[in-house]
Chain A
Amino acid sequence: MLLCLVLSAWAVAQAYQSDPVDSNKQVLHNKNLKPVDIYTNKLDAFKTAVKTQHIDTLFIQTQQANSVAEVLSKYSQIFIKSYGAGGLATAGFRGSSANQTAILWNGFNLQSPMLGQADFALLPAGLFENVSIDYGSTSSIYGSGAVGGSVILQNGALFQSGLRSQISYSIGSFNNQQQVLKLWYGNKKTFSSIKIFNQWGDNGYTFLNQGKEQKQTNAKLQQSGLLWDEYLQINTHNQVSLHLWVQGSYRQIPPAVNIPDNKANQQDESLRLSTEWKYMRKLYQLNLRSALLKESIAYRDTNLSKSSANSIQYNTFIENYFHPFQNHFLQLSANYSYTEAHSDAYTESKQQNRLALFASYKIVSNKHKLNSCLSSRKEFINEQDAPLVSSLGFEYTGIKNLKLSYNINQSYRLPTFNELYWNDAFAKGNIHLKPEQGWGEEFTIKYILPKDNFKIIQSEITSTLYNRYMDDFIQWTISNGFSSPMNISQTKSMGLEIQADISFAMKDSRIFMKALYDASQSIIEKSYLNGDASLGKQIAYSPRLKNSITLGANIKSYYVLYNHTYTGIRFTTSDNTAWLDSYIIGNFSIGQNIKIKKTILNYNLNINNAWNENYQVIVSRAVPMRHYQFTLSIKI
């Protein structure tokens, strides 16, 4: 570790002096935490009229021993397709598939090039101080995969904070335990952060199967990893940063309900290394960032001796930010990536070279009442074609207490390596696949109540209407005797999202509420299959409703949270003839932050699925009923 610290000489995190929009620098407040400066990727400044949700830091704190999947499931409008505790969890929103959900870490998309999706169950929430969500497409900026939306994982840099450390221990139902060590050091020019975690669990929970109690088997999880962030401000004009995230997971894969246990297990290993150099002048900024993303999966069960897949990706961005005139901002950027993947199911190692050119132009009116931004992106890939995509957004704040925004955008999702190159006795990839592509728009009204009313410290209601049309939706079907992916349908999604936040402050206390409402109709509008009964039907595993309300209070050093989430029925067949019932989950979090001089002692108790709901998110996959988790942390 010392060697690592010595090697990490370079780091930075200071806001660029002429950021085009305020959202590039956020200060997140939590009564019990010091303000932390979060420096988002500079490209974020060009996202205009994109609805973004920042998960409250208190919510993340209560879930620090859980995965990002748990955080999103409870506190966002994303539908998490979970195969049970510790099992695969993918994310979809606004009717999108898991492959249409980007996950960005330091601006790099972590979707697997082979599978096209990310497993959110393997992302420990405790590693991140900030989790935010972009709803809707940002393909014109972030490229392939950012169709339904994006999840953004970030950490902050706290300069001049000195040396701090935190140690946490969690224990929960089903013999789940987690240990986390965090170290931070910040002076005037550098900031270092190291987080190390280790966790395991048996997950042998009981559930009801056709009225009878049954115990989950073969569900152990072991996971450990390290996340290291270094920032260095060399001088006024030069900043560098380095980020390393190494993680390994071993998990058993429990059988589906009523199916014999074939003792399946999977080992996931990943190494993610990224660096960034920023060169900043008054009217120009250059960001040069690169990443090495390596992942491997080894699967084994009693029937298959071993099946493995691994990929390595080198990814480099050159981003040029110009400030040609007052209130005018321009970015001209390029992204080159080389990906190599190998799977037992490919005939040979496969390579892919991708070059993307993208640009944005943003104009802010003199009184900052109107922002508008146009972005375009074109990608060039060997042996494949990608569409030119653009987006145009407007934000208007000229009416008191209101913010109006409108965004029209194009999006796309390139076929994955598996979809292109799979080749075994039963299934065969399709190198002639076209990218999924389409367009959408969204209109948002945000109403902000004056803060001086009734001791309100924050109150806003955000309503968003959206639609999206996607062509050439890729699905595995039969072709010439093989299971094979094909572009088979056009999809249409439309919906309404409402988010209401209100916080009251009283003496030594704060009471707050966050309500989320999401009604979505996502249907197959056109199919290339003859006689397809899915036409006009809701897309499978796309709930029409997901609503939640979170009530919380900070009273002196205590806090209590209650989260109540309704997830509507999910059709399990494309013709909507079979479905899983809706479910309501209640979760409590209770804790206290005790300050003793500079030391903060935190204890937190989570009661998950408090009403003991017996439900399935995915057909035949059991999930735990009521369970508990207790965490003790000491921060010095």
Chain B
Amino acid sequence: MLGTQSCDKAPQVPPLVVLPDSLHEGIYVLNEGNFQSGNATLDFIDVYNNMYYTDVFKQANNKVLGDVLQSMSIINDKLYLVVNNSGKVEVLDKRNFISISTIAGLRSPRYIEAVSSNKAYISDLYDKAITVIDLSNNSVLKKITFPSWTENMLLSGSIMLVTCPNSNFIYSIDIFKDQIKDSIQLSYGTHSILQENDSTFWVLCDGSQTKKINATLHKLFFSNHVFRLIKSYPFEGDDKPSKLVLNKNKTALYWLKKDIYKMAVTDSMLPKNPFVNANGKNFYGLSFDNTYNELYVSDVLDYMQKSKCYRFNANTGQLNGLFNAGIITGDFYFNY
């Protein structure tokens, strides 16, 4: 019996590309990993030296990152990795990915946004609150109570705009008082929020199949604490658009809806045809690279294998490149 067990060997693992002592700029590839499997990873692309480094957190810290890497931000030259189902934010040295501190005890964190060099907000799926973080020591200062799930945040002057996917509203927080200042009613499932210019914003609402409410894209005017709905773009009944992004010049919006769609900010109607056809791929994460005017999109296939990530020219939709990342690549963060 023991003899036959020698046939049951694990595959050969190619050696990891060893991290150099110091890295500066590049692209961060966020791999969510499988829910409850603790296999979230962060990859890094050194674009100047054309090097791809996998699972840099484990390499640098000799431990796993956690469960479901949701998002990241760079604040004060540090990486803030939001590890959703581990209920924590890992704070890393940007040069070498070594862990500086861990903001633990969060319930189900989603995104982190700096309010100033001293303070940041963390949104949360279940906590019904925004957690206020003191960036000087990465500790929790207080919580701002919300009626439901808080998701994307956007800083505009002294106001932080927050989407709440289980509601019809976006909320504004006075960042000096850390208090909800106002709310504006849009449609159900406020999710993504982007800024086109000083006074024009875009909000994507998920809608709800169970409540029979269509997903809708809204264009808003917001200035001097005055909100005004400019135009709404309702989707078809079963559509579930996601991952709304803007290009560098703020002239075009892109999103995923099985395929990649593109719409000029001046268009009066939603596009009928896709910009890039998925052709059977399972597109999941979408980000915009301002430097090379490219769309990065991940194909997560069956959720249980390494994602394939594609780079498309944002003007023509032409495929520029392809690389493999980790399990369920959900986002890309560009810093170069």
Contact = CB atoms under 8 A, between A and B. Distances in A.
B279 A530 contact: yes
B190 interface: no
Contacts of A488: 302
Interface stretch (B31-39, B110-118, B137-145, B170-178): B31-39
B304 A519 contact: no
Nearest to B68: A259
B321 interface: no
B210 A423 contact: yes
A531 interface: yes
A540 interface: yes
A15 to B, nearest CB: 39
Contacts of A424: 210
Contacts of B301: 477, 529, 531-534, 574
Contact of B107 (A303, A475, A533, A573): A303
Interface stretch (A141-149, A273-281, A541-549): A541-549
A475 to B, nearest CB: 6
Given A256-B38, A257-B38, A620-B38, A573 B10 contact: no
B126 to A, nearest CB: 4
A412 B24 CA distance: 55
A480 B34 CA distance: 20
Contacts of B294: none
Contact of A258 (B67, B281, B282): B67
B311 interface: no
A145 B103 CA distance: 46
Given A256-B36, A480-B240, A531-B301, A547 B126 contact: no
B206 interface: yes
A478 interface: yes
Interface string A459-476: 000000000000000011
B10 A579 contact: yes
A112 B86 CA distance: 31
Interface stretch (B1-9, B15-23, B218-226): B1-9
A534 B302 contact: yes
Contacts of A161: none
A576 B210 contact: no
A380 interface: no
Given A303-B107, A480-B238, A428 B302 contact: no
Interface string B298-310: 0111111110100
Contact of B240 (A477, A482, A534, A569): A482
Given A573-B305, A619-B37, A258 B86 contact: yes
Nearest to B282: A478
Contacts of A532: 301-302, 305
Contacts of A257: 38
A515 B4 CA distance: 14
Main DSSP-derived SS at the B contact region = loop
Contact of A574 (B66, B256, B305): B305
B8 A258 contact: no
A425 B304 contact: no
Contacts of A547: 1, 4-5
Given A259-B85, A478-B300, A569-B8, A517 B37 contact: no
A548 to B, nearest CB: 8
Contacts of A519: 4, 7
A528 B323 CA distance: 21
A566 interface: yes
A530 B38 contact: no
A578 interface: yes
A303 B281 contact: no
A577 interface: yes
B280 A530 contact: yes
Contact of A480 (B36, B63, B67, B257): B257
A258 B308 CA distance: 27
A476 B86 CA distance: 23
Given A258-B66, A480-B240, A534 B1 contact: no
Contacts of A569: 8-10
In order of increasing CB-CB distance, the 9 nearest A-B pairs are: A481-B240, A575-B305, A574-B304, A568-B8, A303-B126, A530-B280, A478-B282, A260-B87, A620-B38
Interface of B: 1-2, 4-5, 7-11, 34, 36-39, 63-64, 66-67, 85-87, 107-108, 125-126, 165, 206, 208-210, 238-242, 256-258, 279-284, 299-306, 308, 327
11 contacts: A257-B38, A258-B64, A303-B108, A303-B126, A480-B258, A534-B305, A573-B304, A573-B327, A575-B305, A582-B8, A619-B37
Given A477-B303, A532-B302, 11 more contacts: A210-B63, A258-B67, A302-B107, A425-B209, A425-B210, A532-B305, A534-B305, A547-B4, A568-B8, A619-B37, A619-B38
